[in-house]
Every structure is written in C-alpha cells, then in structure tokens.
Amino acid sequence: MNKGLALVFAVIGTLLLTAISYAMSIGNGWLVGLFSILSIGFIGFGFVVKAKLRKRNGG
C-alpha cells in the first residue's frame, strides 16, 4: 500500500474513532453503535485492500 493511500485510511479511521468518542460524550447510544459498525467495517476494508495490493504486487 502506498503512503498516500495508507494516510487516507489512517485519517478516516481516526475520524471514525473520534466520532465514536464524541457520540459517547453526548450520550447518544445509536450514534455510538452506528460509528462503531462503520469503524470496524472501514478498518476491515483497509485490511482487504492491503492484502489485494500485496497479492497483485507479488509481495
């Protein structure tokens, strides 16, 4: 995974985790659940992209 793509995944993942903590601070449970599911899904998607790129590049 090139550095630019890795940076995009890191920034978006961090923003999603920040959104979870903000939703917890305002006491909104359904937003916590929504952002948690989105965060787990996005992090998993990042692992899939990394594996596909590694397989394509033969590394």
Q: Give CA–CA dist 38/33, Å, rounded.
A: 9
Per-residue confidence (pLDDT) for residue 19, from 0 to 100: 97
Give pTM, 2 decimals: 0.84
pLDDT in tens, 25-59: 999 999 999 999 999 999 999 999 999 999 998 86
Per-residue confidence (pLDDT) for residue 59, from 0 to 100: 64
**11 pLDDT tier (thresholds 50, 70, 90):** very high
Query: Within 10 Å of residue 52's Cβ, how many Cβ atoms?
Result: 11
Domain locations along the chain: 3-53
Per-residue confidence (pLDDT) for residue 26, from 0 to 100: 97
